Structure 1
Amino acid sequence: MQIEFLGTGAGAPGKFRNVSSLALRLLDERNSVWLFDAGEGTQHQILRTTLKPRKIDKIFVTHLHGDHIFGLPGLLSSRSFQGGDDKLTIYGPKGIRNFVLTSMRVSETKLSYYIDFVELTDGGKVFEDSKFTVYAAHLDHKIESFGYRVEEHDHDGELLVEKLQADQVPSGPVYGKLKKGETVTLPDGRVLHGQEYIGHAQKGRIVTILGDTRKTLNSEKLAKNADVLVHESTFSKDEATLARNYYHSTNVQAAEIAKKAHVGRLLLNHISARYTGKMAHELEREAQTVFANTKVVKDFDLIDVPFDKERES
């Protein structure tokens, strides 16, 4: 599981930061990519990565401001030309369906795949399969805005091969039966219980990705015990009044959420164009005084989300 940032800027494209979009790379987990927002130029950003648009099977839209959705029509169209024939699901606030279909209709764009729209009217579970569950909740922005919590299901414990070898258990089909937790009788009469040869289950990872928002309790709820929290940082701590007036957050407010929610790592994005170079580092430093494991991300940063070896199911 990796997070690749395609755009980390706020409002309008800049020389060093494109507008909002990130990809949750789940290639090992389910051979797909989930996109969160698609600001203007997102498909151009994808061209500078190893991502394949045909691998994108879900797009989660946080809200309908242009710097989060203007890249959708071009990306959806190009996906048709790049082997993307499988169904795509788009989640987002009410109005996302109309925006996409109007763009397709006016431009007379014909897609080679079906789009399933899930327009959110309230929070709660929005997706679940055998490996992941996704929850959404309202945030506090000038227009309807959502945050998403992606929970990976726990992984079964691994077969303790070294223990089997130490007990001189011959390899073969018996390993598969023990992995399933079955009881096996060996030719020499020994009875082996599968549970004695399976390690602890590994807790699944949690990634929380928030849309634009003021500091709000739902942010903390979505982020609770997350391995990674992606939070906007449009303003610095000295501009808290501006942040509130424009329905955004400061770097320190994001760090306070991370601290209260006991997250593993805080990644700050949606950075105003005023913060470049040393000023961006200062945003990071200020936030680190509240929550040490904080990073201000840049376009094309690729962040691994490793398993927490201390978190066992």
Structure 2
Amino acid sequence: MELYFLGTGAGMPSKERNVTSVVLNLLAERNTYWMFDCGEGTQHQVLRSPIRIGKLEKLFITHLHGDHLYGLPGLLTSRSYQGGDTPLTVYGPEGTEAFIRMALDISEAHLTYELKVQEHKKVYEETVIFEDDQFLVRLAPLVHRVDSFGFRIEEKPLTGKLQAEKLKALGISSGPIFGKIKQGLDVTLEDGTELKARDFIGPSYPGRIVTILGDTQPCDYSLKLAVGADVLVHEATFAEQKKHLAREYDHSTAMDAARTANEGGVGSLILTHISSRYQGAEAELLLREAKQIHEQTFLARDHWSFDVPRRSAQS
């Protein structure tokens, strides 16, 4: 599991940062990618990355401001030309489907895959919007000038490793029996001996938690979504000296993000959505301010990746 940042700027593109888009690389877990936001020029950023949009499975839109949305029609149509034949689901606020359908209809675009749009209309509390046997995704409302949301991606607990040496000690070699026990299935041998799968499987691993927030002021749900996360991706549009602008435009400072991470017991904090006023070394000010509160903080940049480490096995 890895986070890959395609765009880390706020409002409009700059020479250093494109507008917002981040990819959760789940190739190892389910052979797919999940994307969060799709600002203008995202597909150009993809061309300079290892990301393959043909393997894009889910696309989550935090809110309908252009710097998080305007790249969507181009990316959706390009997916048809880049091997994308599996279904793609877009999750977004009310209005997402109208935006997509109008752009595709007016341009007479034809998609070669099934496109599903799941809108979360007026959501006032934490809600589960997706769950399968691997992942659960929670959504909650934030505080911004338009409806804006945050996402909490929870990986289900992972099965422990097969303790092959125990089976080999019983004279059982690698083969179908190994496979069945690894799947958690009990096995009865030809001599009647019953092997309980739990006796040959090591401790399970807790799943990882990644929280990705849309634009927001500090609020209750940004903290609730962040509690106990391995990684929190949080906007840091302004430095503390511009806190009045953050409040005026419903954004956060780097120190606001750090306070949320600290109070939530987050492992690593990643700052993104950086105002174009912070160019080059000036952006390091945001990192220095956040580290005063939450030491394990990183400043994202375009085409930077972060590996989400697996948690230790449960005893």
Length-normalised TM-score, structure 2: 0.93
Identity %: 48
Identify the residue that residue 252 of structure 2 maps to in structure 1.
Answer: 249
TM-superposed CA distance for 1:107, in Å, is 1.5
Which of 267, 270, 274 in structure 2 is aligned with 1:271? 274
Partner of 1:14: 14
- Give the C-alpha shift of residue 278 in structure 1: 2.1
Q: Which residue of 1 aligns with 2:77?
A: 77
1:146 Cα deviation (Å)? 0.5
What is the alpha-carbon distance in structure 2 between the residues aligned to residue 190 and residue 77 of structure 1?
Answer: 57
How far off is 1:178 after superposition?
3.9
Residues 222-242 of structure 1: per-residue CA shift (max 9 Å, x gap): 111111110000011222221
Aligned counterparts, 1:97-176, within 5 A: 97-121=97-121, 122=123, 123-165=126-168, 167=169, 169-172=171-174, 173-176=176-179
Tell me, in whole angstroms, the C-alpha distance in 1 between the residues paired with 2:177 and 2:215: 53
Deviation at 1:42, TM superposition (A): 0.2
Distance 2:89 2:65 in 1: 20
Distance 1:89 1:149 in 2: 17
**Partners in 2 of 1:215 and 1:53 — Cα distance?**
33
Please give the alpha-carbon distance, in whole angstroms, between the structure 1 residues aligned to 2:171 and 2:180: 12
| Range moving further from structure 2, 299-308 or 110-119 | 110-119
Q: Partners of 2:170 and 2:145 in 1: how far apart?
A: 66
Is 1:25 matched with 2:25?
A: yes
Q: Superposition pairs for residues 297-312 of structure 1, below 5 Å?
A: 297-309=300-312, 312=314
Unaligned segments of structure 1, at least 5 residues: none
1:182 pairs, out of 174, 180, 186, with 186
2:213 paired with 1:210 = yes
The residue type equivalent to 2:223 in the other structure is: E
Residue in 1 that maps onto 2:94 = 94
- Structure 2: 5+ residue runs without aligned partners? none
The question of 1:258 aligning with 2:261 is answered yes
Is 1:235 matched with 2:258? no
**RMSD (Å), alpha carbons:** 1.8
Kept after mapping to 1: 8 A contact 2:186/2:194: no
**Pairwise mapping of residues 44-83 of structure 1 onto structure 2 (< 5 A)?**
44-83=44-83
Mapping 1:32-47, distance limit 5 Å: 32-47=32-47
**Which residue identity is paired with 2:105?**
R
The SS at the match of 1:117 is strand
Indicate the residue corresponding to 2:299 in structure 1.
Answer: 296
Contact 1:158/1:200 (8 A) holds in 2: yes
Quickly say closer, same or farther: Cα 1:176–1:74, change in 2 above 3 A.
Answer: closer
Q: 2:305 & 2:225 partners in 1: Cα distance?
A: 22
Q: Aligned residues, how many?
A: 310
Preserved contact between residue 178 and residue 184 of structure 1 (Cα < 8 Å) = no
Shift of 1:190: 7.3
**Could you tell me how far 1:53 is from its partner in structure 2?**
1.3
Query: Cα deviation per residue 1:40-63 (whole Å; 9 max; x = unaligned)?
Result: 000000000121111112110000
Amino acid at match of 1:170: I
After TM superposition, give the deviation of residue 182 of structure 1 in Å.
2.3
CA distance in 2, matches of 1:130, 1:177: 18
- Tell me, in whole angstroms, the C-alpha distance in 2 between the residues paired with 1:108 and 1:47: 24
Return the letter of the residue paired with 2:186.
E
Contact preservation (8 Å) 2:177, 2:187: no
Query: Following the alignment from structure 1 to structure 2, what is the Cα–Cα distance between the partners of residues 76 and 178?
Result: 42
SS at match of 2:110: coil
Describe the shift of the 1:192–1:7 C-alpha distance in structure 2 as closer, same or farther (beyond 3 A). Answer: same
Task: Confirm whether residue 5 of structure 1 aligns to residue 9 of structure 2.
Answer: no
Q: 1:170 deviation in Å?
A: 2.9
Which residue identity lines up with residue 115 of structure 1 in the other structure? L
Distance in 2 between residues matched to 1:267 and 1:241, nearest whole Å: 22
Residue type of the partner of 1:251? A
Q: State the one-letter code of the partner of 1:285.
A: R
Query: In 2, Cα distance between the equivalents of 1:53 and 1:194?
Result: 39
Structure 1 counterpart SS, 2:76? helix
